[in-house]
Amino acid sequence: MRVASLIGGGLVCLVVLVAVFASQIAPGDPAAMVARPMLPLFSPGHLFGTDQFGRDVLAGVVHGARISLLVGVAAALATLGLGTAVGLAAGFLGGFADAVAMRVTEAFQTVPTFLLALALCGVMGASLTTIVVAIAIASWPLSARLVRGEVLRLRTLEYVDAARMAGLRPLSIALTVVMPGALVPVAALFGVTVGEAILVESALSFLGLGDPNVFSWGAMVANGRTLMRTAPAVALLPGMAIAVTVLGISLLGDRFATRQRPS
């Protein structure tokens, strides 16, 4: 497990460094036509070649890392924030509020995450903000159930009773006493949620529902799928970037999840 986490951490660091220094690795606009179309791999000045429009594939891959990480992290924060709010309210209030929140949660869980995000993006339009919101709306139930269960456990502990006896208001107890403890297991979900968000964004872009104003890995795969026989690298390289990023995040996330499990 330790070796796997080191590999995952190394892959994540590599992707982050590529995203941070994308402008230095491949200066200019990744959507610009910079050379003759369909240059092969290892062409002079174009390491990954060019696509059918003469765009540099390396530039698209490195700049696409920024979009994938941005969407992944933003969607994960939005997902865990929404799930934490619902789970905290349900677990702390209990009774009717808990029952309603759990029925709503179960209703959302009956719909696959990608299908719900696909429907929402189809209705709201294609943009990075829409994708982040759609992923958050489709993915929050898991974190909500986890937070609710942890809150139900924490609210019976002595230090929570002591806070009540000290005269703290219920809202203060929920936010300052119960929530910090409930967030500990939720942190393990962050990596999993980032990886899932990257996959969903790539799939949406592949289907033409991504932001047309940015260069994403999913859009590159969609663009290169018709060139698999003549220039497979145009689709395979961004596809490999997606796989490496999600693999690294998953390996690193598993390490954090293992630390949260009781020994």
Q: How many CB atoms lie within 10 A of CB 57?
A: 27
Measuring CA to CA, which residue among 148, 119, 128, 122 is closest to residue 75?
128
**Domain assignment of residue 39, yes or no:** no
**Domain assignment of residue 197, yes or no:** yes
In tens, the pLDDT along 55-69 reads: 999 999 999 999 999
Handedness of CA 209, 213, 215, 220 (dihedral sign): positive
**Domain assignment of residue 174, yes or no:** yes
Mean pLDDT of 249-263: 66
pTM surpassing 0.75? Answer: yes
What pLDDT is attached to residue 260? 54
Range of the domain at 66: 2-19+52-260
Percent of residues in the chain assigned helix, strand, coil, to nearest 5: 75, 0, 25
Q: What is the CATH number of the domain that holds 58?
A: 1.10.3720.10
Mean pLDDT of 72-89: 94
What pLDDT is attached to residue 125? 82
Q: How many CB atoms lie within 10 A of CB 12?
A: 22
In tens, the pLDDT along 127-160 reads: 899 999 999 999 999 999 999 999 988 888 888 8
The CB-side HSE value for 140 (13 A sphere, CA atoms) comes to 26
**Domain assignment of residue 110, yes or no:** yes
